[in-house]
Structure 1
C-alpha cells in the first residue's frame, strides 16, 4: 500500500499507526495556526511578486488560507494526526479547497524554515504580551510604594531582623527586579526578530525569492544570513526560556515573602481574600494558595529551560526531528509565566501592610544596633571597636531582657564616654530609616525621589520629545496628556483607503496621526489625509471617538474618527509603504491597532 503522505512519493508502504501517534505534533503545534497562515500568505505574495507563481494562483491560495483560518477560529477545522503537524494539516486542507494549485505554496520553502518562522512569530507576540504584563506589575509596585510611603518595617538578612527600612523601599526592590526582567525580554526580542524563511531545508533555494519583501510583510527587522544556522537555531528560544525562568524566580521570591509575612508568626501584611483559599477541615484557615502555586510553578519554568538546553546540546547541523520537542516546553513556560504575572497583577494592588504588627516587630531584635555603631564611629571611634562595643551593649540588653531603646542613658554611657543624650535620636527606628541618605538608601526623601524617577521611566509622555515606544521600540513623537489623534476613513469609488505601514507596529491601518496643538481635529484629519494619501478630501461626518488605554501599543489612547470622500488615485506618503483600496469583503490581513473594530463599526453603519 502506497504512502499517502504529502512527502510519501519515495515510500512503498504507509506509515505504521504506532509511528503516526508517536511522531505527530499537531496535538500541540496547532496553536501556531495563525502564524503558519500569516507566513504562508506572505510567502505566496512573494512568489507571485517574483513571477514564480501567477498572480491569480497566489490570490486563490491566499483566499484558501484565509478560509482555513476562519474555519479554525470557528471550530470547523478537523486536525488530523495522520497529517503530522500544523503545516501539513493546513497544506492538505488548502489543496482540498483550491485544488492542485495549493501544492504550489510549498515552492521555495521547507518545513524546516517554516517551523522556525512560526516559532519566531509566535514568540515575538508572546514576548510583547509578557512585556505588557510586566509593565502593569511595575505600575502596581509603584502605586503600592506611593500609597504606603510612611510605613516602616524590619529589613532582613538571613531572615533575622537587620535594619529598619521603609515598606516602600522594600516594595521598590521588587520593582527593580521585574524591571530587569522586562529589559531582558525587550533585549531578547532582537534575537527573535530575525526572518528564517527562505533558508529552505538547509541550503537556501535556487528560486529567485525576495526575502526582504517577506521580512517587510511579516514585520521582521533582520534576515538570517546563514541558511544552515537559521533552520538549526533555537538560541532565541533558549534565551526566552531563560528570561522566563529568571522572571519566575523573582515572582517566587516575592511569593515566598508574601507567604511568610502573611503568617500569624509575622503578621506583617494581609493578602486579598480573592487570591486565598480555605481549608476543607479547619474553618479558621486563610491559605495563601496563589503565592504557593507561583512558587511551585516556577519549578516548571526551570525544567523547561533545562529540557531545551539538553534537547539541543548534541545535535549536529542542521534540522533534526528531535527539535519537534522544542514547542511544548515553550508553550508551557509562556502559559505559566503569563498566569503568574496575571495573578501578581491581581494581588499586588490589594496588599495591605499591618502597621501595628510592624511597629511591634520594629521594637524587637535590636534593629538599630548598626545605627548605634555608626553613631560611635561618627564620634571618632574606629568602626571595628564601635562594632564590639555595641555587641557588648546588645549582650547586656539580652541579659536584662531589654530592647536598645529601653536602656537608660546612664547604662549606655557605662560602655563608652562618647555616648551622650543625642543617642536617643539614633535609637528610634524612624530616625534610623531617614538617616540612610546615600543614593539608593531607604531614607524617605530618597524613596520619594526614586518614585519620581520611576514615574518618568514608566511614562512615554514627555512633552515635545521624541521617545522610544516602550512596547515596540519605534521612536514616536509625544505630546501633552491626553494624547489626541485622528483617523480618517476615505471613500474613493465605493472603496476605502488603507495604508500599509512601513514602521512597527506593522500592518494595514486607517490614515491618521497626531493632532498638533493649535489645530482642530477636522484640520488634523485633512492634513493627515493629504500627507499620507496625497488626496484632497471632503469631510462628511464623524464616525465616533475611540478611547481605550490598550487601543494602540504606543499609547495613542484617544482618537476621533472622521468619514470623508475623495476622487483620484491615492499615493503613499509619510509613514505609508503602500496604499490600497478595499471593501468589507476584501480587507487585508494584519490590520494594526484597533482599526478592525473601527472598520466594523463603519461598515455596519454605512452601506459602502
Structure 2
C-alpha cells in the first residue's frame, strides 16, 4: 500500500454522518432507517418548512396513516372542561415545571434575561419541584398548577420574574402541559425501543445467525431473517412516527401548521389532532406490533428451542388480554372520548366520565407500553438455544468481522469509520489490504495510518455466501446506527488481528 499524499486527503475535508460513510443517499436512509431521517434534518417544523425534500417525508408520513387518523382541526381550543381538568390536575405538576423551564430558555434566547438570571430561575423551579415531592408545598386554591408554580417562583426569585413567563389562558396552559408530557414520554419510549433494537442485534450476533428451521439451508430461515431484521424495521418505523409526532407537537407554532411546498394540496398539521394520533399509536400500533413480534418469538421458540429464562419469561396471558376484542372496544371508546376532549371529534359536550376516560387513554397506557418493551428486552437478553436441536451448517464468520472492527476501534479509529471499512470490504468482497487510499479517504479513514493498520490484513474475512454477505452488511449498518461497539461481541472471543 502506497503512502498517503495531500491529494488523497481532499476527500476528508468534513466529518461525514455515519450513513454517508456507507454510500447511502437520503432515499436509502428513508427506506432502511426512517427514524434516522429526523437526525438528518432535525425535529422542528421550521426545518420541515425550509427543506423541500424533507416535506416529502412528512407528506408520506401523513399519507401513510389510516384515514380515521387524518382529522385536521381548524379550531384553536380544547374542550373547556378538559382544558381545566388538565390545567388544575396536580398530578401533572412535573410537566408544568418542565414547561416553565422551557419558557425560561425561550425568554433567555430572546435576549430578555441573561444566562445568569436564567440559571437562578431554573434553580428556583427545581427548589419548588423538590418541595412538591416532599409534600411541603402549599397549593393555592382556585389557581391552576402552572400559575401556582409561577406565583411561587415570583415569591422566591429576587428582582421579579419575566412577564412573558405568565400564562393566564387555561387552553394555553393545557397545551403546554400536554406538549411537555408528550415530549417526555416520546423520549422514554424511543429510548426503550432503541434498547430493544440493541438487544435484538446482540442476540443475532451472539448466536452467529446459525440457527436453521430445517436440514437444508434456504433463504429467510434464520433468526436474523425471520425475527431480528423484521423486528428491527418495525421498531424503526414506530420510532420514526414518534419523532414525527414530536416535531409537530413541539413546534413553535401554536395553531394549525400548513405545509404547501412542492405539493398540489395543502397539508394541515394540528397539534391537538397529532396528540390524538400519538395516543392511538401508544394504545394501538406499538402494542400490536410488539405482540406480533412476540408471536414470532413464540413460534420460533417452539420450533427452534429458544427459551426465555427465569423472570424474563413472557406473561402471554396478559398480552392476550390486552389484544382481545373487549379490550379493543374499550380502547376505541376511550379514544373517541379523547377526540371529543381535544375538540377534533363530533358530538355533544363532554361529560366528566368521558374526560376521565380521555385522560386514562392518554396518560396510563404509556406505562404499559414501557413495561412491554422492558419485558421484551429481558426476554431477548436471556434467550438460550438448545444446540442439539438445531442445524449448524458452517460458521458465518461474524466473529471475525466484529473482531476486525474492534481491532480498528482499539487503535483509535472512529466507530463509524471502522464499520464503514468492514462494510466496504464486504461490498467489494476483498480483504482490507486491497482497499485503495481514495476509497479509504471517502470513508474518513486516516490514510496516513493505512499502511500500519491494513497492510498485512490478507485473511480477515471468511468466504461468505451471498446470503451471509447480505446479512452481515445489514447487521453492520444496524450496529453503526445503534452505536453498538464491536468490543461488545468481541470480548467473548479469542480472535486477534
If the length of structure 1 is used for normalisation, what is the TM-score?
A: 0.41
Relative contact order higher in (CA < 8 Å, ≥ 6 apart): 2
Higher strand share: 1
If the length of structure 2 is used for normalisation, what is the TM-score?
A: 0.49
Higher helix share: 2
